[in-house]
Each structure stands twice: as C-alpha cells, then as structure tokens.
Amino acid sequence: MTDVNEKLEEMRKRFQAMQGNLNYEHNINNLRYDRMILLDVSFSMMGEKLTAAKHCLKKYIKEGDGLIVFGASVYHVSYPKIDTIMADGNTPMLPALKLAMEFKPSKILLITDGEANTNLEEDECPWDCKGTAEHIIDYLTGIMGVQIDTIGIGDNSDLPFLETVSEMTNGKFQYVEDVKDLEDSIKLLMAPEETAIAL
C-alpha cells in the first residue's frame, strides 16, 4: 500500500472510531438525512461556544437530521456521541460541505465562529481540501436544490461570506454576537415541528 493509501486508511479508521459502531463506508452508501448540521469544532470553539452548541443540538435535533463536525478532522457524529465532541484544529469547511452532500440532504445548517480554511493535507483528505471562502463559493455554484442556513458566532466569523452562502442557496443567515443567544438562532433555523429525538 502506498503512503497516500495508508494515510487515507488511517483517516477512515479514525472516522470509524469516532462514530462508534457505524462504518464510514456504510454511512456514505446507505444513510440519508433531510438536513445536515455542520458544526465548527476548531480550536476557537473551545469552551463556552462549543458547550452551548452541543446543548442546543441535543435539545433541537430531530429524526432525519445528521451531524458533521469539522476541526482537526471531518466526521459524521451519531446522536449518542454529541457529548464526546471536542474542539481542536482549524476550519476545514469545504471538506465538511462535501461530506454533507454525500448524504443527499435538502437542507444544511452551518454553524461556525471563524473563516474557512483547512488543516488537512490534500493527500490525507478524501475530498479536495482547498478550502477558502472563494473555493466554497465556486463549489456551491454547481450545487442545486440544497438550502444552506448559516450561523456566525462572534466578530471573527466571516459574516459577508456566510450571508453570501445563505443568499445564493435561498437559506437564512443569523449573526450571534453573544454565545448566550445561540440557542435562539438554532431554534429559529431548526424550527422543530416534531418532538426532538431521545438522546
């Protein structure tokens, strides 16, 4: 096995371990979600912001919602594993969006406190890891029928970019200046019409 293949295999095994008993390949091939939630778990989310985000997701996530986190790596999280999420790394937003699209959602909710970048080496990533805001806009121009709602937490989030993403996909944008107001934005955008699933 080549060095690149070995790195890819190591990355896939790491994803599988983080997902519990769910197999990564099985997830891509068989799971479908109405909405994917993309949560930034970069180092800057450590502490109050990540704690608040996990609390809100556990409260409002429904059957039919999937969760992907992105930071030191990008992976799908099963509902019982939400409390185990930790903050580390940068903000590989484009790989997270590409993984989300594999689950064929009609809606995406993107929650971030920073700017799109990547700490994943291109030879370690199953997707194209060139991940600036410009790369994401270019990527989304080829995506049809997926509404992307966005939440920017604090002044370090790329607010013009997040607004643009929501506008071009007929989504909604929310700016959260104080993390204490995060729940209001998540509740508004997730608009639960059914009882939240038991965690």
pLDDT digits (tens, 9 = 90+) for 103-132: 999 999 999 999 998 767 666 666 666 788
Q: Which helix (H) or strand (E) holds 57?
A: helix 48-60
Where do the domains of the chain lie, and which CATH numbers do they carry? 3-190 (3.40.50.410)
**Tens of pLDDT, residues 5-16:** 555 455 545 544
The two structure tokens encoding residue 24? 């990564």
Amino acid in position 164: T
Query: What does the pLDDT read at residue 154?
Result: 95
80 and 62 Cβ atoms separated by less than 8 Å: no
> Distance (Å, rounded) from C-alpha 43 to C-alpha 32?
29
Instruction: Please state, rounded to an integer, the average pLDDT across all residues of the chain.
Output: 83
The two structure tokens encoding residue 197? 């699933």
160-188 residues labelled b (16+ CB within 10 A) or e (exposed): ebbebbbeebebbbbbbeebeebbebbee
Contacts of 13 (CB under 8 A, 6+ apart): none
- Model pTM score: 0.81
The two structure tokens encoding residue 73? 């790596």
- Hunting for tokens 């997730």 — which residue is that? 190
> If phi over 0 gives left and psi between -120 and 50 gives alpha, with beta otherwise, what is residue 89?
left
